[in-house]
Amino acid sequence: MLEVLVAMAILAIALTAAMRGISVATSQTEDIRRRMIAEWVALDRIAEYRALSRWAEPSHANGEVEQANIQFRYEEEIKGTPNPLFRRIDVEVFAVGDSSRLARVTGFISRRATQ
């Protein structure tokens, strides 16, 4: 009888550890998913400038966007470069209501020499 109780105690401890491991893995998977989607948001911001052939003066902008049913807040900074035909765009993405950055992407846009 004592052996059965010891075996059940060992089994309970092992199952508890396994459940904890599954919980941590699930949490990490969700964090990776949110960071991946945040990176897509940043890439979309840069792609919008490129797709619309928009030339931008150095500035700061921010806004909110929903992607995959998650609300994100982005901050973008457009800077000049040593070459006047290029602009650098830095985009940082955060979850709405959270100050920790989920993604940061840097891209460049160009102005045609004839413009």
pLDDT (tens digit, 9 = 90+) per residue, 63-114?
Answer: 999 999 999 999 999 999 999 999 999 999 999 988 899 999 999 999 875 4
> Residue 21: left if φ>0, alpha if ψ -120 to 50, beta else—which one?
alpha
Residue 106 sits at φ, ψ, to 5 deg, of -115, 135
Mean per-residue pLDDT, 34-52:
94
93: in domain: yes
> CB burial class (10 A; 0-12, 13-18, 19+) of residue 21?
exposed
Alpha-carbon span 58 to 51, nearest angstrom: 19
115: in domain: no
Query: Domain residues for 71?
Result: 2-110
For the chain, the domain total comes to 1
